[in-house]
Structure 1
């Protein structure tokens, strides 16, 4: 059964500005070391970061909580399976909230087009 659906869109240009102006503190606050490493080696680093940010926002919308009650951006990490499919790994407060809401699965889809990155998250109940 579906618990919640979240969608978010992020402008790639915004993340390109963060990279160009050296706003590393902000990037470090929003993304885990693994996410930063994965994106930094790509020629489309800003697009990679924008998609991951959109995924985190979409998750928060699907959960219905927003970023509060001790939830951190680092509690949500976008990874990829062996075939490259994006997955959302939860830790800390995000994992606690996931369990407290009796959730079973996170489905994540990412896309990029026209200077934007979009993410959709579907949360399934147990």
Structure 2
């Protein structure tokens, strides 16, 4: 193993992947009002998704991002992390992650200072992977 490979692998703190089904998210989003959706999504995510040309796909990306980040922590969503403490920012086809509250504290404890995320869409599915560095 080269020194560069060793350094790169030491920086990786976790990897999370999630596959989500858009029709499931469509049913969920259409079944609840804005205040209830705030239990899962931040106001910024809701505004961004609702103004999108593809709102159901974008809500699915945000949800899958939360799942992928929680998996990268190695815990999944627990009482330590609330859904709306993990925020996905979608700009064009770029995905960035912002943590709030206890999720941010957990990341700092784990010395995670950077998130790299990508997403893909095909048919009725969204795949998100989040890399904690």
Q: What TM-score, normalized by structure 1, do the two folds share?
A: 0.88
Which runs of 5 or more structure 2 residues have no equivalent in the other structure? Answer: 1-10
The question of 1:102 aligning with 2:111 is answered: yes
SS in structure 1 at match of 2:76: coil
* Matched residue count: 122
- How far is 1:119 from its partner? 0.5
| Deviations, residues 50-87 of structure 1 (Å, cap 9, x unaligned) | 01100010000011012224311111111146x75210
Higher strand share: 1
Deviation at 1:26, TM superposition (A): 4.6
Q: Does 1:61 align with 2:68?
A: no
- RMSD of aligned residue pairs (Cα, Å): 1.7
2:72 and 2:132 in contact (8 A); partners too: yes
Consecutive aligned runs of 4 or more in structure 1 exceeding 6 Å deviation: none
Deviates further, 5-14 or 38-47? 38-47
> Would you say 1:14 and 2:21 are equivalent positions?
no
| TM-score of the two chains, using structure 2 as the length reference | 0.83
- The whole-number CA distance in structure 1 between the counterparts of 2:44 and 2:82 is 15
1:50 maps to which of 38, 60, 66: 60
Aligned to 2:113, the other structure's residue is in SS state strand
